[in-house]
Amino acid sequence: MKNIDESRARLHGIFNITVTPFGADGSIDLAGIARSIERVLGLGYDGVLIGGTYGEFPVMSPDERAGLFRHVMDVVGTRAPVMLCSADSDPRVTRDLSILAGELGGVPMVMAPYVSEITDAQILAFFREIAPLSRTGTIIYNAPGIGITLSPALIEQLAEVEGIVALKQGDLSVGAIDRIANTLSGRIRLFCASDLAFHGPMMNGFDGISTTNSCALPELVLASFRAIQEGRAHESRDLHRLWYSYRALARGMGQPQTVKAAMALRGFDGGSVRRPLLDLDAGQKAAVAEVMRTIAADPRAGFTLA
């Protein structure tokens, strides 16, 4: 993307959160991530998100992350919008990666620095410094699972900061979603940060979702999203119910680990996780395989397993 106006126009729909496939030696499988991206774009996904929480950015060095940004933008080009997570506990890293993301034509995604006792005023000052640096704009990343939960009141202030084009909202509590949808819709783009429970935000008027589990279930997650997007709520609900047993496993065992195990069953390039995460053990993989076979047996899932 060339500028903020284009980012505002193109940031909507369903974005695949592409997992980072690590080899057993810790290396990044660049060819594998390219194949994963081509798969979802070929199916009709609206964009991809690279190096986010489930892309395991905290265990990558700044140089690795920059190299991943460059590689992915070479793969995608201008075909689809790309969110590039530039979040870090060190504002210097966030600054450098945000500038690079914009220069490459992606859109940086920034969370509040996850340091102790940071105040709302300090978070606001941080975004005022970082957000204008990218020529393509900046996405607020509200990620309670790894950082600080931004209140709706603070998000409303952040939405007024120069350069802010979107919000990726990880706090899916009813009150937060209701307030954000009704105060910020039409001002910035609103994304639900989880495919585990996206119907509420979408029914409230959010512009799209980001989805990690679509790395393993790309056809099914896409079909469910398109149905809710097009007003076929009951169909979307039924498709979402189809993979509840998978979601229950993922909540208990961790999404990156579960997604990568499920991807392996389909011959996809999930690779391994990096420490401190651990790949699933044999028993856990067997549980994932059983659930995946059950899902695949339903023709609505859109895929089969050998």
Ranges assigned E (strand) in 65-126: 82-85, 107-110
Could you tell me whether strands 47-50 and 82-85 are parallel, antiparallel, or unpaired per DSSP bridges? Answer: parallel
In the three-class reduction of DSSP (H, G, I as helix; E, B as strand; rest coil), residue 291 is classed as: helix
* Cβ neighbourhood burial of 297 (10 Å; 0-12, 13-18, 19+): exposed
Q: Are the beta carbons of 165 and 188 closer than 8 angstroms?
A: yes
Domains of the chain: 4-232 (3.20.20.70)
Paired residues of 107 in beta bridges: 83
Q: What is the pLDDT of residue 16?
A: 98
Per DSSP, which regions of the chain are E strands? 13-18, 47-50, 82-85, 107-110, 138-142, 164-169, 189-192, 208-211
User: Which is nearest to 95 in space by CA: 129, 60, 51?
Assistant: 129
Residue 90 CB partners (closer than 8 Å, separation 6+)? 113
Q: Does the predicted TM-score (pTM) go above 0.85?
A: yes
Query: Which residue type, as a one-letter code, is found at position 273?
Result: V
How far separated are the first and last CA of the chain, in Å rounded?
Answer: 40
Give CA–CA dist 22/128, Å, rounded. Answer: 34
Catalytic center residues: 141, 168
Cα dihedral 266, 269, 272, 277 sign: negative
Supply the pLDDT for residue 115. 85
Task: Report how far apart, in Å, the C-alpha atoms of 180 and of each of 26, 74, 165, 167 are.
Answer: 39, 35, 14, 10
The confidence score (pLDDT) of residue 285 equals 98
Integer angstrom CA distances of residue 250 from 43, 208, 261, 288: 23, 22, 10, 9
**CB within 8 Å of 279: residues ≥ 6 apart:** 257, 260, 261, 272, 273
pLDDT in tens, the chain (306 residues): 899 999 999 999 999 999 999 998 889 999 999 999 999 999 999 999 999 999 999 999 999 999 999 999 999 999 999 999 999 999 999 999 999 999 999 999 999 988 888 999 999 999 999 999 999 999 999 998 887 899 999 999 999 999 999 999 999 999 999 999 999 999 999 999 999 999 999 999 999 999 999 999 999 999 999 999 999 999 999 999 999 999 999 999 999 999 999 999 999 999 999 999 999 999 999 999 999 999 999 999 999 997
Q: Please confirm whether the linkage preceding 276 is cis (ω < 30° from 0).
A: yes
